[in-house]
């Protein structure tokens, strides 16, 4: 028998189901948990959601998440400006940072090539990456895009288009299974992949 839920609860469940790895049953569980929250906590949660795009901005240099202005990594005097690790998403920065074995800077492309969805170099932050290389300070570009077909195509594009005198372009390889997304790769495999990167 189908139990008809209140409309507001159905809407809430529908929103929650849009989140990654949340199916109907999990959405239902989260929705009923929210029903038990105090009004003040619900209001605080709603306020964060309502202002998410105003409060979480993109770093004007690398594209990482920031409160405003350059992100803490770009602003740090302790990072090596000669290395830029190219990733698809800010979540992947988090993954590389967790290894604790990389002290260079980052560049977030904002995705990877996807001919079917119409994502090519124009839709990604490739132009911004080129601008960052103009000062000649960068000696190594580490391509840490995914190891699936789209991620490889993105890496190959950058390797061929950004080839320049005095710039080494490397690719993470060892230890990361094909198709893996860096944000979910365990730290020791990722640390090995950074240490064992190969020149493209």
Does 182 participate in binding Zn ion (rule CB under 5 A)?
no
Residue placing its CB nearer to Zn ion in the complex, 62 or 176: 62
The whole-angstrom separation of Cα 113 and Cα 96 is 21
Among 16, 27, 61, 126, binds Zn ion (CB under 5 A): 61
Q: Strand (E) positions, 11-138?
A: 57-58, 65-66, 80-87, 104-108
Q: What's the min distance (Å) between Cβ of 68 and Zn ion?
A: 12
Does 71 participate in binding Zn ion (rule CB under 5 A)?
yes
Does 129 participate in binding Zn ion (rule CB under 5 A)?
no
Asked if 163 and 199 touch (Cβ cutoff 8 Å), the reply is no
Exposed / middle / buried, residue 84 (Cβ in 10 Å: 0-12, 13-18, 19+): buried
Q: What's the min distance (Å) between Cβ of 59 and Zn ion?
A: 3
Residue 21 has a CB neighbour count (10 Å cut-off) of 5
Residue placing its CB nearer to Zn ion in the complex, 61 or 86: 61
Does 142 participate in binding Zn ion (rule CB under 5 A)?
no
Asked if 75 and 69 touch (Cβ cutoff 8 Å), the reply is yes
Does 147 participate in binding Zn ion (rule CB under 5 A)?
no
Does 109 participate in binding Zn ion (rule CB under 5 A)?
no
Q: What's the min distance (Å) between Cβ of 109 and Zn ion?
A: 13
Site stretch for Zn ion (CB under 5 A), options 5-13, 25-33, 51-59, 164-172 = 51-59
Does 74 participate in binding Zn ion (rule CB under 5 A)?
yes
Pairing of strands 65-66, 57-58: antiparallel
Three-state secondary structure call for residue 80: strand
Helix (H) or strand (E) holding 75: helix 72-75
Does 59 participate in binding Zn ion (rule CB under 5 A)?
yes
| Residues lying near Zn ion in the complex (CB under 5 A) | 59, 61-62, 64, 71, 74
């Amino acid at each position: 028998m189908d139990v008809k839920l209140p409309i507001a609860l159905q809407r809430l469940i529908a929103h929650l189901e849009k989140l990654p790895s949340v199916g109907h049953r999990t959405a239902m569980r989260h929705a009923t948990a929210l029903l038990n929250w105090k009004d003040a906590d619900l209001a605080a949660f709603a306020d964060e959601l309502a202002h998410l795009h105003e409060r979480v901005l993109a770093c004007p240099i690398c594209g990482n998440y920031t409160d405003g202005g350059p992100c803490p990594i770009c602003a740090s005097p302790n990072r090596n400006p000669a290395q830029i690790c190219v990733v698809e998403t800010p979540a992947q920065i988090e993954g590389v940072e967790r290894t604790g074995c990389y002290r260079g800077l980052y560049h977030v492309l904002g995705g990877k090539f996807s001919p079917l969805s119409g994502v090519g170099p124009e839709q990604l932050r490739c132009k911004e990456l080129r601008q960052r290389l103009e000062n000649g300070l960068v000696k190594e570009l580490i391509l840490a895009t995914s190891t699936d077909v789209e991620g490889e195509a993105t890496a190959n594009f950058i390797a061929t288009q950004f080839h320049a005198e005095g710039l080494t372009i490397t690719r993470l390889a060892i230890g990361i299974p094909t198709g893996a997304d860096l944000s979910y790769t365990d730290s020791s495999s990722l640390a090995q992949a950074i240490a064992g990167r190969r020149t493209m």
